[in-house]
Amino acid sequence: MLNPLSQFDQSSARVIGLAIVTLVAVIAAGFVTGREASRVRSAIEPQLMYPNLDTDEATSLIVRSSSGQVLITRNEDDDWVVPARGGYPVRPGPLLQTIGGLAEMELLEAKTARDDWHHFLGLDTPDAGGAGAGVEIVLSNAAGETLAAVIVGNQPESSVIEVDGRERIHVRRADEAQTWLARGSLSLQIDVTQWLATQLYNIDQTRIREARVSPASGDSYTLSRTDQRSENFELIDLPVGREIINNFIVNAVGTALSEMNVEDVRLEADVDFMGGSEIIYRTFDGLEVTLRLANIDGTDAGWVTIFARFTGLPNAEASEAAAVAEEAANVNVLTDGWAFRLPDYKIRQMTLALNDLLRPPPGQETSANGSSTPN
């Protein structure tokens, strides 16, 4: 006599087996479809995507994704700027890479022209959202006419960066369904700060002679060193009976001026500097840089203004003096009328109070909040 449970087990096994086969077939079909979207092709001689593009006509560049967009325009002075940051200049690198990249984009192979396959190549419009959405780049002229509009998608699995910096990538014209494997180089940054000219200057630490710090509250103080060979700054007029915590913390304040890379830019008029602090740096070769910092406890904490000038240098060669004066002028070209968001570590260095540099007086200990209290 047959065991009913045995028959049930055999039947279940067959059903499960069929289900597994079906699932594998579905997965394989999806994989093949995705691969076919990339494989459908017609080999062609490399040809420019926009052969008649005149980049000199361009006055507007938009880079847009499903998460946002960046608008860059060319002003009356022929400078490319970011309207969302009050018209601050852009970095030349990504701008030239993108506008030049559109002009030099080469089509290598035709891929799918099916709308429903676009997402496999990351070429859905940004409005579609999701993992299949691409990045749209639109270049326009002063009349608002579109010079180029391209959707940029995924790179093929075998893509490599060529000697000239170009890569292979899937693209399509924004008003066409036909997709292509192309060769080119574009900046797809949606974060507006990535387009800003954020490196203002780079003053070598060994040049810095003095830092005069006027905190928002508490006593002002001056850090100085006698010559460029001195590794450490000294605190001028060290309070009687006090000593610095260590040279590291003093030197951090003294050299904070160097390598000035900012994180963001706003119009100076849009930042409240009332109740803030000031720090003046002077170099051995006559450069003076003044930084005005917003109150660290206010809503605009972290923002600064920067002004440079040449104060003169006794016995300096005329060419040396002229070079430093030109350096100051170049800094002001980038900073005049603007406020800059500094990295947090720079703000901490520049806003240390005098007591932050000193050990507690004898007979006192430091409390949990950093203040000195009697024993």
Pairing of strands 303-310, 260-261: unpaired
Average the pLDDT over 247-267 and give the result.
Answer: 94
Terminal-to-terminal C-alpha distance of the chain? 95
pLDDT of residue 5: 34
Residue-wise pLDDT tens digits, 1-36:
434 334 434 444 454 454 444 444 444 444 444 454
Does residue 137 or residue 12 have the better pLDDT? 137
Q: Looking at the structure, do residues 232 and 184 belong to the same domain, yes or no?
A: no
Q: Residue 334: inside a domain, yes or no?
A: yes
Provide the domain count of the chain. 2
| C-alpha–C-alpha distance, residues 212 and 282, integer Å | 9
Q: Residue 70: inside a domain, yes or no?
A: yes
Residue-wise pLDDT tens digits, 87-116:
999 999 999 999 999 999 999 999 999 999
pLDDT of residue 276: 95
* Structure tokens given for 75: 């002003």
Query: Which runs of consecutive H residues, i.e. helices, occur in 172-317?
Result: 247-254
Q: Looking at the structure, do residues 226 and 360 belong to the same domain, yes or no?
A: yes
Structural domain including 62 reads 44-195
Domain boundary pick from 195, 221, 244: 195
Residue 193 in contact with residue 262, Cβ under 8 Å? no
Identity (one letter) of the amino acid at 213? V
Residue 283 in contact with residue 207, Cβ under 8 Å? yes
Closest CA to 181 of 164, 157, 162: 157
Average the pLDDT over 155-161 and give the result.
Answer: 76
| C-alpha–C-alpha distance, residues 195 and 62, integer Å | 12
Q: What are phi and psi of 363, to 5 degrees?
A: 90, 0
Q: Looking at the structure, do residues 271 and 337 belong to the same domain, yes or no?
A: yes
Residue 234 in contact with residue 225, Cβ under 8 Å? yes
Q: Looking at the structure, do residues 184 and 209 belong to the same domain, yes or no?
A: no
Q: Residue 2: inside a domain, yes or no?
A: no
Q: Sheet of 68-74: strands edge to edge?
A: 42-48, 106-110, 180-184, 167-173, 146-152, 135-141, 58-65, 68-74, 80-82, 88-89
Across all residues in the chain, what is the average pLDDT? Answer: 86
Q: Looking at the structure, do residues 97 and 160 belong to the same domain, yes or no?
A: yes
In this prediction the pTM is 0.78
Q: Residue 66: inside a domain, yes or no?
A: yes
Q: Looking at the structure, do residues 185 and 240 belong to the same domain, yes or no?
A: no
Q: What is the dihedral of CA 158, 162, 168, 173, to 10 degrees?
A: 180
Q: Looking at the structure, do residues 203 and 302 belong to the same domain, yes or no?
A: yes
Q: What is the dihedral of CA 43, 47, 50, 54, to 10 degrees?
A: 170
Q: Looking at the structure, do residues 82 and 99 belong to the same domain, yes or no?
A: yes
Q: Residue 58: inside a domain, yes or no?
A: yes
Q: Looking at the structure, do residues 291 and 323 belong to the same domain, yes or no?
A: yes
Whether residue 373 is predicted with pLDDT greater than 60 in this model: the reply is no
| C-alpha–C-alpha distance, residues 137 and 105, integer Å | 13
Q: Looking at the structure, do residues 219 and 187 belong to the same domain, yes or no?
A: no
Q: Residue 111: inside a domain, yes or no?
A: yes
Average the pLDDT over 283-301 and give the result.
Answer: 94
| C-alpha–C-alpha distance, residues 57 and 6, integer Å | 80
Q: Looking at the structure, do residues 138 and 222 belong to the same domain, yes or no?
A: no
| DSSP-assigned states of every residue in 8-69 | HHHHHHHHHHHHHHHHHHHHHHHHHHHHHHHH--EEEEEEESSTT--GGGEEEEEEEETTEE
* Structure tokens given for 50: 């926009």
Q: Residue 300: inside a domain, yes or no?
A: yes
Domain boundary pick from 149, 175, 195: 195
Q: Residue 28: inside a domain, yes or no?
A: no
Tell me, rounded to whole angstroms, the distance of Cα 55 from its chain centroid.
Answer: 25
Q: Looking at the structure, do residues 231 and 354 belong to the same domain, yes or no?
A: yes
Question: 257 CB contacts (<8 Å, ≥6 apart)?
Answer: 203, 208, 211, 281, 289, 291
Domain boundary pick from 176, 195, 214: 195
Identity (one letter) of the amino acid at 31? F
